[in-house]
A and B are shown apart, each in its own frame.
Chain A
């Protein structure tokens, strides 16, 4: 039974929007098959509209890794699906060699064919293996590049933040030098009193163990230590920068010293560990 035009329009709309009920499918298919050009046009336009609806979606590109994973997967699948297509018996029968007296000839022929196929399969396998390795290498390279990109982005943001502090109309700076435990170390703290943003730079400090942090302190006018945050230097960080919002006094005249000590992870209320850097403000 062919549905009426109006009903077919309803069915097409539902089909195009993926909302067609299963029990209406046969009626819809009947209309499409036997409804003629007019019905065909309604169907094509409805499906066309649903395709156009997709373009109203906000476009987002997938990560390049998705493609790398996809290609790797299909190569793997192809490799797995390779198998010898027919048994000897089937081949012999299909060639018309059903008679046992041809046994020796068939066996010989089969051996030659198998050897050929074996060599071919081995070469194919080698090729697929090589391509897979190549793909894995590209994937690794891509991931490295992505990591490098993220690192560069972070570095850029940090440098922009440092430049913002340096561009402030008024900044304060205190230099710090290495102490007995690490004489080669040095550092400085520069801050913008108006925005309460400080840049800490330390150099040649040893990497901290995983259960420790470096802690920055300032000593107020009464030489009472006040924590100004913690940070960790990892191996290879010859120069370490940190930009953070720290409520430092407006003027270095209100500070008697800056110090960096090594403390338990997360910091402590009062300094307890070895002092690595110390600096007093030059108030001339």
Chain B
């Protein structure tokens, strides 16, 4: 059950906030914002890398929640995961609409950059405040090959579909699918106790 990622009480509380929001209770939206805005803002910022655009998309996400809280479906994950998915999708839409992705230059892969661990490992302050769960995720990510991490980075944080990834990395589509499946399978195994 995906709910296991977050403590049960927290999930229940989020679900009840969404119910209150669907009854137009703005104090519930304010509370939900306080709980999740930092993570959502960080995800959007990671994708768009521009403060103003990030603030704009974050606002869009919560306006969307305000208008469509009743669309939340527990089957698709806990409210935190649902919000994160909306934030990621909105940011990727913005990325595409604004033509941020100048494929020839900006998205060219940096042969030496490790997208997932660079921030944490190069910044001692950030490292120091990582929770044990974050540490475990970063450790799990280190068990992936550079090729696998690149695919995850480009898919999740840059919005590439599998066929776009195949074009970009000049790989057969089947190879992209296999690598992505293997990478996710490794992560599922390594992080299973958070997911169980």
Report which A residues bind B (CB closer than 8 A): 6, 9-10, 12-14, 16-21, 44-63, 66-67, 69-71, 73-75, 77-78
- Is the CB–CB distance between A53 and B37 below 8 Å? no
9 further contact pairs, Cβ within 8 A, besides A19-B160, A70-B62: A18-B92, A46-B188, A47-B2, A48-B5, A51-B84, A51-B85, A59-B42, A60-B38, A74-B29
Residues of A within 8 A of B39 (CB): 54-55, 57, 59
Count CB-based A-B contacts (< 8 Å).
166
Give the CA-CA distance A13 to B183 in the complex, in Å.
Answer: 9
Report if A77-B159 is in contact (Cβ < 8 Å); known contacts: A17-B152, A61-B41, A66-B58.
no
Given contacts A55-B133, A58-B46, A66-B37, contact A45 B195 (CB under 8 A): yes
Q: Is the CB of B156 within 8 A of A9?
A: no
Instruction: State in angstroms the CA–CA spacing of A19 and B38 once bound together.
Output: 25
Within 8 A of A (CB), among B8-45: 24, 26, 29-30, 33-34, 37-39, 41-43, 45
**Are B181 and A19 in touch, CB under 8 angstroms?**
no
Q: CA–CA, A36 to B161, complex, Å?
A: 27
> Which residues of A sit under 8 angstroms from B85, Cβ to Cβ?
50-51
- Taking a contact as CB atoms under 8 Å apart, the answer to whether A63 and B55 are in contact is yes
Chain B residues with CB below 8 A from A21, complex form: 161-163
**Among the listed A13, A49, A58, A69, which residue makes an inter-chain contact with B191, where contact means beta carbons less than 8 Å apart?**
A49
Across the A-B interface, the 10 shortest Cβ-Cβ residue pairs: A19-B155, A13-B184, A17-B155, A48-B195, A51-B81, A62-B41, A58-B119, A10-B181, A45-B188, A10-B177
From A65, which residue of chain B is reached at the shortest CB distance? B55
Q: Which residues of B contact A (CB under 8 A)?
A: 1-2, 4-5, 24, 26, 29-30, 33-34, 37-39, 41-43, 45-46, 54-55, 58-59, 62-63, 66-67, 76-77, 80-81, 84-85, 88-89, 92, 116-117, 119-120, 123, 126, 131, 133-134, 137-138, 141, 152, 155-156, 159-163, 165, 177-178, 180-181, 183-185, 187-188, 191-192, 194-195
> Would you call A58 and B42 a contact (CB within 8 A)?
yes
CB distance from B96 to the nearest CB of A (A): 12
> Given the complex, which residues of A lie within 8 Å of B117, measured CB to CB?
56
For A52, what are the chain B residues with a Cβ–Cβ distance below 8 Å? 5, 133, 137, 187, 191, 194-195
Interface contact A14-B162, CB-CB below 8 Å: yes
Contact indicator B59/A49 (Cβ below 8 Å)? no
- Contacts A21-B163, A70-B33 given; does A10 touch B141 at CB 8 Å: no
Asked if A17 and B30 make an inter-chain contact with CB atoms under 8 angstroms apart, the answer reads no
Given A21-B161, A48-B2, A69 and B195 touching (CB < 8 A)?
no
Asked whether A14 lies within 8 Å of B30 as measured between CB atoms, the reply is no
- Tell me how far the C-beta of A94 lies from the nearest C-beta in chain B, rounded to whole angstroms: 25
Tell me which of A10, A57, A61, A67 has the highest count of chain B C-beta atoms within 10 A of its own C-beta.
Answer: A57
Bound-state Cα–Cα, A6 to B84, Å: 27
User: In the complex, what residue of chain A is closest to B160 when comparing beta carbons?
Assistant: A19
Given the known inter-chain contacts A18-B89, A58-B42, please indicate yes or no for A49 contacting B161, CB distance below 8 A.
no
- In the bound complex, residues from chain A placing their C-beta under 8 Å from that of B191 are 48-49, 52
Q: Of A13, A45, A61, A73, which contacts B59 at CB under 8 A?
A: A73
Q: Do residues A67 and B30 form an inter-chain contact, with CB atoms below 8 A?
A: yes
Contact B156 A53, beta carbon cutoff 8 Å: yes
Question: Are A17 and B2 in touch, CB under 8 angstroms?
Answer: no
> Complex Cα distance A125/B164, Å?
51
Residues A47 and B76 in contact in the complex (CB < 8 Å), given A57-B46, A62-B55 = yes
Q: How far is the CA of A136 from the CA of B192 in the complex (A)?
A: 47
Q: How far is the CB of B142 from chain A (nearest CB, A)?
A: 11
If A6-B181, A10-B177, A10-B180 touch, does A74 touch B116 (CB 8 Å cutoff)?
no
**B residues less than 8 Å from A77 (CB atoms):** 63, 66-67
CB distance from A262 to the nearest CB of B (A): 40
- Asked if B180 and A14 sit within 8 Å, CB to CB, the answer is yes
Please, how many angstroms separate the alpha-carbon atoms of A6 and B181 in the complex? 9
Q: List 25 A-B contacts (CB under 8 A).
A: A13-B177, A17-B180, A18-B92, A45-B195, A46-B188, A47-B77, A47-B81, A48-B5, A48-B194, A49-B187, A51-B2, A52-B187, A52-B191, A52-B195, A53-B116, A56-B141, A62-B54, A62-B55, A66-B55, A66-B58, A70-B33, A70-B62, A71-B30, A74-B29, A74-B66
